[in-house]
Structure formats: C-alpha cells, structure tokens
Amino acid sequence: MKNSSTEQKTLIYCQTNSSDSFLKELVHLRSNTKTISISKKELHDHLEIQKIISKNKSSLFITGYKSKNNEEILKIGRLYNNEIIESLDCKILSNKKMKDINYHGPIPGVIYGIFFLGINDERLENLFSDIFCQKVKKINREYFNYNLIISKIENNKYVLKLVNINKNLDVIDVGPILEFEIINSFMCDDDVFSGFCDLFSRKKTKNIHKDSNKDKIGTLHIQKQDLKNLKIRKNYKRGKLETS
C-alpha cells in the first residue's frame, strides 16, 4: 500500500442511512476526517468496508449500523495492505449528545488530550488513539482545555466522553458521552501489526542541522564513485612518482 502517512491517518467516516447523529459529533472532533455517504441502510461487512476504505487511500474507518435486534452498533477499525487487521463492534448502551447536555460544544478539530482508565490493553489503546486522537507536536495549556476520556467500567463495557477542564480545574461534561460494550473484536497477530507500524518508521530523518553560527553540521551522503575510471596525473619529483 503506497500511501503517505497523512492519507493513512485520515479517518474515513462511512455515513449510512441508519447512522445516528452522535457519530457526527464524534468524527467532527477530529480534524483529519473524510465523510463518505453510503446509500445503504447499514454497512458492517468486512469486504465491503475494505473496498470502500482502500479506494479512498486510508487505513482508519468508523461507521455505525443497527443489529438484527435494532441495537445501535459503532464499528471502528484499521486496514493494512487493503485488508482489515483490527476491528471493533461496539453495542451502544446509552449516549448523550451535546444538545442533551446543553453545552455549546467545542469547535470541530479542537485540540484535546486523550486518557485511558483501567483498559490495560496496548493494542486497544493504540486503535482508540488513532481513531479519536490527533498528532500534537507542541502543547499549550491555554488551548488544551478539552480531554477525551475512555474508561473501562466492567468486563467489556466502556465509557467515552469529552470533558472540559476550566481554569479552576473543574471537570465539565461536554458531550458526546457514549457508554458501549465491545461485542466483537478482531486483532491481527503482532507480526502483521509490526509491519503496519514499520510504514511510519521508515521515514528518512535529516542528519544535518545549523549551529549557532548558522553553519550546516552533519553527515553528507554522496553516491559511491567508481574509482576504476578515476583519472590521475603523474608527477615526477625528486626521483619519486607522485599522483594527484
């Protein structure tokens, strides 16, 4: 899969005819999101999802559908080499939207922190981080007032909620607040996942920087030369043969 890291980190939101509005609130928290409208009542088949996500050159997806018992299901996952390597089907037990909490809500793409409580599953945390979080190189406390908290409450039940922390360190529910249960989980083996992670570690790093005098310091790599074709000049000096 020859995609840039930016494309691979784009979250594809597959919006179906049965997608609930709480999903829109979730995906709008993330700045790098692309919405695709699917003219179907539901989308949960792996092969269908693989085809849609691969066509859009991404590796992350989120969608929603209703089960046979009319239960609201949130589905998230990741692709590698055009195949789903991780996926979660989460039955929504309850949800509160921003309008239900009567909070004005953050602007789309707001910078927020993400915290995990009681999960202790690195692969699960990694998937949640990539789905809901965004890359922040520098944190400024002034703009870091929102936090996305994902906590495990019992067995396979979790709570996801966005909160606001004001200057007095008061924690205020913002919404959406989502209580869900993971009813189906698939994680590829560690070797396949390591191959996926290698995509982001192969970037060439610059080994040249400027010092205080603005002089470039570092190692310069040049193409290897064929010394067989290197012409030399012979000088005879004081009875000795010298080359230059």
Task: Give me the amino acid identity at 58.
Answer: S
The per-residue pLDDT for 237 is 53
pLDDT, tens digit (0-9, with 9 covering 90-100), for 61-91: 888 888 778 888 888 888 888 788 888 888 8
Paired strand residues for 208: 218
The C-alpha angle 195, 196, 198, rounded to 5 degrees, equals 65
Of 116, 132, 101, the C-alpha closest to 32 is 132
Task: Give me the amino acid identity at 165.
Answer: I
Per DSSP, the residues of 42-91 read ----HHHHHHHHHHTT-SEEEEEEE-TT--EEEEEEEEETTEEEEEEEEE
Give the predicted TM-score (pTM) of the model: 0.62
pLDDT, tens digit (0-9, with 9 covering 90-100), for 165-188: 777 767 788 878 888 988 888 788
5-198 is classed CATH 3.40.225.10: no
Of 91, 57, 99, the C-alpha closest to 74 is 91
Domain boundaries, the chain: 5-198
DSSP 8-state code for residue 228: G
Which residues have C-beta within 8 Å of that of residue 216, sequence separation ≥ 6? Answer: 208, 209, 210
pLDDT, tens digit (0-9, with 9 covering 90-100), for 189-222: 777 777 777 665 554 445 555 655 555 555 555 4
CB atoms within 10 A of CB 16: 19
Q: What is the Cα–Cα distance from 12 to 10, expressed in whole angstroms? A: 6
> Per the structure block, which two tokens stand in for 208?
């040249």
> Per the structure block, which two tokens stand in for 157?
């039940």
